Structure 1
Amino acid sequence: MADVTDPNIAEAYLEVRSDKSETNWLLLDYESDRSDKLKLTQTGTGGLKELQSLLDDGKASFGYVRVSFSNDEQSTREKFALVVWIGPNCKVMRKAKVSVHTADVKNVLRVFSIEVAAREKEDLNEDPIVLRMRKAGGASYDGI
């Protein structure tokens, strides 16, 4: 089991979800290579692109991000994604534990439209993620 009891995690989650906050992502990392305790590493306002730039190829991390997109000029939607990052140079034992730890993370970062399993930074390009969010979002009037 992953330890996700750091109160900063729950606080940052609420901040990302808040319409009154500009913070639109958070990043969780393990305290050390051998630890199963997750800590809040960083938050930001630069969306997927900023989160993507901070991921370490040698680590496994969890991200939570608010993505804004519009179907037309009159409407904007905001959806949330849970990012499960396993860098291409991540150690084998850490990779093995991530699937089990994801369930624990989902108990804290509860509300999201899609889960993104990212192994390469390109897996976090915004266009394919927005497309998946549109498909998960219900009624679509633009043929998606």
Structure 2
Amino acid sequence: MSDGIEVEQIVESKPRRMPLATSLDKDAIREAYEDVRSDLTDTEWAVFKFDGPQIIVHGRGQCFEEFRQQFGDSERAFGYIRIQMGDEMSKRKKFIFLTWIGQEVGVIQRAKMSTDKAIIKDVLNNFAVELQAGVEPELDIGLFREALNRAGGANYGTGIRDN
């Protein structure tokens, strides 16, 4: 136009795809959580992973080595594990809540883990220690026991266990 009026062009842009809100398979997660906590079962751990926008029970088991194998470099997940602690005078079960963010997980998915963690902690709400890991060497029973000992306070045992 020659009369000095500028015409603004309206450019249509595609709407941004927003990530779907995270949800839980709450009943299955609660059942796995109670299974780990129960003294009537041998289940020592449960792992929870993402199936699209939903957190589901991925697996349960008894061996720490199996627990370690549940986590991959490109995955986000949560773990709940029972570890027997104590000395020769007192043995007790302690629980750890683990957040796993593998090294290949992207920035947005990493950032989303804080809100996703809050959602699952509504169900997994009883634990002595909360840990975060992202590389395989951090999934070490010795490190888990050290964290539980630090959280548990004084240890008065002699170091000699009665079997």
> TM-score interval w.r.t. the shorter chain?
0.7 to 0.9
State the SS of the aligned residue for 1:29.
strand
- Conserved? CA contact 1:82–1:115, under 8 Å: yes
Q: CA deviation at 1:69?
A: 2.8
Q: Percent identity?
A: 30
2:58 aligned to 6, 30, 41, which one? 41
Q: Give the drift of 1:131.
A: 1.3
Counterpart residue identity of residue 97, structure 1: K
Kindly provide the CA deviation profile for residues 86-131 of structure 1, in whole angstroms up to 9, marking residues without a partner as x.
0011122211100111111111101001111001111120112111
The structure with more radius of gyration = 2
State the aligned residue count.
138
What CA distance in whole angstroms lies between the structure 2 residues aligned with 1:85 and 1:140? 29
RMSD: 1.7
Q: Matched residue of 2:41: which SS?
A: coil
The Cα of 1:142 is off from its aligned counterpart by 5.3
Q: Which of 12, 18, 27 is 1:7 aligned to?
A: 27
Question: Unaligned 5+ residue runs, structure 1?
Answer: none
- Give the TM-score of the pair, scaled to structure 1: 0.88
Pairs within 5 Å for 1:100-115: 100-115=115-130
Give the match for residue 92 of structure 1: 107
Alignment match, 1:69: 85
Deviating above 4 A after TM superposition, structure 1's stretches of 4 or more consecutive aligned residues are none
State how far apart, in whole Å, the 2-side matches of 1:102 and 1:3 are. Answer: 11
Q: Which runs of 5+ in 2 are unaligned?
A: 1-20, 159-163
Query: C-alpha offsets along residues 12-63 of structure 1, whole Å, 9 cap, x if unaligned?
Result: 100000001100110111112xx2x10111111113x221112111010001
Aligned to 2:16: none
Please point out which of 56, 71, 77 is paired with 1:55. 71
Greater helix proportion:
1
- 1:70 deviates by 3.4
